[in-house]
Amino acid sequence: MNNYLITIIGPTAIGKTALSIQLARYFNCEILSCDSRQFFKEMRIGTAVPNTEELAAASHHFIQNISIQEAYSVGDFEEEALVKLDTLFQKNPIQIIVGGSGLYVDAVLKGFDTFPDIEVSVRDQINAKYEKEGISYLQEQLQTLDPTYYHTLLTENPQTLQNPQRMKRFVEVCLGSGQPYSSFIGKRKNKRNFTPIIIGLEADRAVMYERINKRVDLMLEEGLLDEVKELIPYKNLNALQTVGYRELFDYFDKKTTLEFAIEEIKKNTRRFAKRQITWFKRTENAKWFPYQTNVQEIINYIKLQL
């Protein structure tokens, strides 16, 4: 394989966008965003979409390409990203993906596991129980049927335990197949026509938290309040159930003060960054650099991999 995909990973506010642009300019290639929140046209400030100058400095793809009202899954992204990469590799055998959404990065690099078809009756049964008993039913079922995966979510991605759609899927696979959901993970080997070169950016936790706090303050200066206010009619859409929007919807609903909402955004963003680090640190063959590393050092490492 003569194609190489430079993959830049790391927590939010660490400097991935700036590095990706420097590398794109050096290697004369293009950038695919793997940030699932930056896909949406209506969400610019709160998702830290690259600014006009950054977008002009290198060709970007999958940034503000769909509406919050459109259904768009990680599977859709995987399919479209691979098609785009095939086109880009015809122009240059080196391309870049960058983003903090680990699931979307994995979709491009590895694809998804294959799960068995589940009978509709099983799904209906789970939906009926959920309507009566709520999310606790799904949590208890997963803990019983697949304690390994339940513990993984509890320690690495606890928000997922509160996500009814994903929890229903885990439970229906367990009940419908008679096997733990985790037993199907990592079995499928998806072929890719590129070799990934994975670059991770990291910083001390105190530095990372300071950068996050400053970014939130900058978002507010740039007009985050106005952006969120315009989105109030759509606040129940899945795309808007995310940090930086949920907290301010509560403020506009007079459930909290603005000061409290801002502190919650900072706190929840820091928690999100910790989960990102946990996810990305499991990435095989990743080379980690301090976030202030001179770009030439990273370029030299990449050239050694080509």
Is the Cα dihedral 173, 174, 177, 182 positive or negative? positive
3-state secondary structure labels for all residues of 47-101: CCCCCHHHHHHCCEECCCCECCCCCCCHHHHHHHHHHHHHHHHHHCCEEEEECCC
Binding site annotation covers 244? no
At which residue do the structure tokens 């769909």 appear? 66
- Find out whether 150 and 181 touch, Cβ atoms under 8 Å: no
- Find out whether 66 and 41 touch, Cβ atoms under 8 Å: yes
Binding site annotation covers 10? yes
At which residue do the structure tokens 């509406």 appear? 67
Convert 63-84 to b/e letters by CB count within 10 Å (16 or more is b): bbbbebeeebebeebbeebbeb
Binding site annotation covers 17? yes
Binding site annotation covers 110? no
Beta-bridge partners for 290 = 202
Binding site annotation covers 102? no
Binding site annotation covers 134? no
DSSP string, 194-206: SEEEEEEEE--HH
SS3 percent helix, strand, coil of the chain, rounded to 5, is 55, 10, 35
Interhelix angle 258-280/102-109, nearest 10 degrees: 30
Round to whole Å and give the CA distance between 294 and 296: 5
Binding site annotation covers 14? yes
Round to whole Å and give the CA distance between 192 and 82: 9
Binding site annotation covers 12? yes
Round to whole Å and give the CA distance between 87 and 92: 9
Round to whole Å and give the CA distance between 139 and 134: 9
Please give the annotated binding residues, written as ranges: 10-17
Please give the annotated binding residues for ATP, written as ranges: 10-17
Please give the annotated binding residues for substrate, written as ranges: 12-17
